[in-house]
Structure 1
Amino acid sequence: MNVTAKICGLSTPEAVSAALDGGASHIGFIFFAKSPRNIDPEAAARLAAPARTKNVKVCAVTVDPDDEFLDRLVAALSPDIVQLHGKETPARTHAISQRTGRGVVKVIPVSDASDIAQASAYEPIVEHLMFETKPPKDAEMPGGLGHSFDWNLMGGHRFARPWFLAGGLDPWNVAEAVRQSGAPIVDVSSGVERGPGLKDPALITAFLEAVRRA
């Protein structure tokens, strides 16, 4: 299996270069005010420009976005994919896909096996699924917290759409995460940072090398 990777929460040219040079299949930009990785669509568009010539997909990460913001996002960044990391229902997810004309990734928060079953309602609508660690109830952010869930929960599941594994991945555990989960695509943000929101190009390179070995 050829495992690919998304480097998420990018905010500097150096981090983008490391992701592209290292062979990432996707790069992600976060549009959520409470995140230390928050960026505005116009700045993200400037950073994403080099990806357009390398067949690397640009992902816009949102949390319960309204229509006005979606319109601005598409106009400024023209993402390949819109990632939905909030409480979007299947109906809202479908509406976002129709409004933007882009592929949609729906994040499914996981703490136990029963959570994975939620994916079935979204499979007919989305381009990808993402399985991410369910945050604590009092968390201000829905992801990017550096915590993993039991990867073995994904074993044996088959989905109609390609899916991402996220949550607590880093250069040292990603190979084991792929082995246990069978994930075809992995997603990392805080696991390649030297501080909240501060991407380390060397860690990005190391992560992508680990993914290749996996």
Structure 2
Amino acid sequence: MRTALDEGVDMVGLVFFPKSPRHVSLSAAAHLADMARGKAEIVALTVNMDLDGLSRIKELVRPDWFQLHGSEPVEAIAAIKVMHQVKIMKALAISELADLEQAHMYGAVADRILFDAKPPSGSELPGGNGVSFDWTLLKDLDLAKPFMLSGGLTTENVSEAIEQSGAAAIDVSSGVEREKGVKDSDLIRRFVAAARGVTVAGE
């Protein structure tokens, strides 16, 4: 996380999903959140977590955002937002144009939509699978709320992804890892530079 903060990223994510290789404990997350606070917005990623679990995260980690990556219905998201007074980012799995229809429904209650690729068959992870979708599906999308792009982004394709999708914000995880669940500082630097259209010194 220190490298990401040094590179001036806008948000850092903490994963609360035991099946994920990126899962962090509440105590570790609280420490990381304290490191990031005031430097970047703190995003707590959860998957169909109950209200008690969200309450513990809110109390101990004090995130700026909940990124809801499960099948949470619109009504539940509205309740979470009121109960916890945090911004909500709803992740939606995309593979074809018809999948975008749900974005308008969730946009009524969420503060931001995150478009991610549908997970491959057999995957237990709703995100972080290193797969992408047709970014041109998002081009000229008329959505009431801002959106982020995720899914299979790397230093090699992030510029193209931004250009094709029109996304003003991006989310990366597996694309800056040297092995599953282990971030690589050099990849983080290169990714940030590529996303900003900056040439990395020495290349």
Query: Larger RCO: Structure 1 or Structure 2 (Cα < 8 Å, ≥ 6 residues apart)?
Result: 1
Structure 2 residue aligned with 1:39, among 24, 33, 54? 24
Q: Secondary structure at the match of 1:122?
A: helix
Structure 1: how far apart are the matches of 2:23 and 2:35? 20
Give the 3-state SS of the residue equivalent to 1:146 in structure 2.
coil
Residues 1:102 and 2:99 are matched in the alignment: no
Aligned twin of 1:162: 146
1: CA distance, partners of 2:122 / 2:106: 26
Of 125-134 and 90-99, the range deviating more from structure 2: 90-99
**d(CA) in 1 for partners of 2:16, 2:32:** 14
Match of 1:206 among 185, 190, 193: 190
Following superposition, the deviation at residue 117 of structure 1 comes to: 1.0
Aligned to 1:7: none
> Aligned AA for 1:89?
P
CA distance in 1, matches of 2:149, 2:97: 15
Say which of 53, 59, 62 aligns to 1:75. Answer: 59
Aligned-partner SS, 2:76: helix
Task: State the distance in 1 between where 2:43 and 2:28 align.
Answer: 14
Query: How big is the alpha-carbon RMSD for the aligned residues of Structure 1 and Structure 2?
Result: 1.1
Deviations 1:142-169 (A, max 9, x none): 0100000000111110221111100000
- Superposition deviation, residue 137 in structure 1: 4.4
Q: 1:138 Cα deviation (Å)?
A: 2.6
Name 1:114's counterpart in structure 2. Answer: 98
Task: For structure 2, list consecutive stretches of 5 or more residues without a partner in the other structure.
Answer: 199-203
CA distance in 2: counterparts of 1:114 and 1:131, whole angstroms: 13
Corresponding residue SS for 2:190: helix
Residues 22-47 of structure 1 show CA distances to partners (whole Å, capped at 9, x for unaligned) of 12100001000000000012211101
Any stretches of 5+ residues in structure 1 without a counterpart?
A: 1-15
Q: Which residue of 2 aligns with 1:140?
A: 124
Residue type at the aligned position of 2:19: K
TM-score, reference length from structure 2: 0.95
Q: Deviations over 1:9-62 (max 9, x none)?
A: xxxxxxx111111121000010000000000122111012232132x1000000
Equivalent residues, number:
198
CA distance in 1, matches of 2:90, 2:32: 24
Runs of 4+ in 1 over 4 A off after TM superposition: none
- Structure 1 residue 75 displacement after superposition: 0.6
- 1-structure distance, mates of 2:190, 2:2: 14
Deviations 1:69-99 (A, max 9, x none): 0110001100000000000010111111112
| Residue of structure 1 equivalent to 2:69 | 85
8 Å CA contact retained: 2:33, 2:63: no
Amino acid at match of 2:95: S
